[in-house]
Amino acid sequence: MRETQEVPFQLVGGFLIEFEGTIGGLEGLRFILDTGATHSVVDRRIARKLGVPLRPAEVFDFDTNRVIAGEGVFPEVRFGPVILKDVDLFAANLGALSTFAENADAVVGMDLLGFGSFAIDYDQRRMFFQPVERSLSSVRLHDSAMCLQLRVQDHVMELLLDTGIEGLVLFEDRLRREIPNLVTEGKQKYIRLGPHTRAIQTTIPGIYLGTKEINQNVWLIKGPKSGALPGLYGYLGASALKPHRLEFDISGTHLRFQ
């Protein structure tokens, strides 16, 4: 069995992990790692170059607004030791999904990461993957995500760990239902997090991951419609942990960081 192999990456904007990959023989493509995405998305121009026929589909952007997309079977996706064949993927204009991915060729989500454990070393700018090689022909990729529990003003909440965003993003309506007397500090500022996402930047004291207090600056966005992301209160950007290394144990659904 081959040993774990490493993949170098660049840290864009201080938080976004960008690395090289291959789709259907097109090499040197720009991939974005997004552990908060359950499904991977390829830019439509890649589908056109490869002549992949697409059937109508819908994909969700950052705050689960529907975006018209396509879906098709791509002959191969490869990054480092991970080789996946006949992969059913979404295809969309990535710039319409996220301003962070507008120059990328693909966003790699947990459907392509969930077949083996991997680690992200921020100090070395390297990712480490267990070798994976399999065909996904006629197989529907399973939803997979890594969640963490935060304590927000003595209320326990579950969030998606997301390498594709910076900081802490919470669903305001779900948060205020859980904490009617939510305490905020300082002035609130309205900003845009993406093409479709309007957010309120504010400060919320008393946010802890275990015994560690994390950055109190948060972005509040409108939560997803009922039934989407059930039981979740938002996204915790990996950069908020200020990690040296993250280790994802997919089979045991554990996360280790230092």
pLDDT of 233 higher than 70: yes
Q: How far apart are CA 35 and CA 38, in angstroms?
A: 7
- Alpha-carbon span 247 to 241, nearest angstrom: 13
Please name the amino acid found at residue 258. Answer: Q
| Residue 97, pLDDT above cutoff 50 | yes
Instruction: Kindly list the structural domains of the chain, giving each domain's residue range(s) and its CATH number in brackets, ordered by start.
Output: 5-135 (2.40.70.10), 147-257 (2.40.70.10)
Higher pLDDT, 198 or 177: 177
Q: Above pLDDT 70, what percent of the chain?
A: 84
Q: CA quadruple 208, 192, 60, 164: dihedral positive or negative? A: negative
Give the distance, in angstroms, between the CA of residue 176 and the centroid of all CA atoms in the same chain: 24
What's the N-to-C CA distance of the chain in angstroms? 28
What tens digit of pLDDT does each residue of 105-160 get? 999 988 888 777 889 999 999 999 876 655 543 333 334 567 888 999 999 999 98
Specify the pLDDT at position 142.
Answer: 38
Distance CA 255, CA 147 (A): 9
The pLDDT confidence band at residue 13, using thresholds 50, 70 and 90, is: confident
Q: How far is CA 15 from CA 23, 33, 99, 182, 255, in A?
A: 24, 10, 14, 28, 18
Segment among 59-68, 200-209, 218-227 with least mean pLDDT: 59-68
Asked if 243 and 234 count as a contact pair (C-beta separation under 8 A), the reply is no
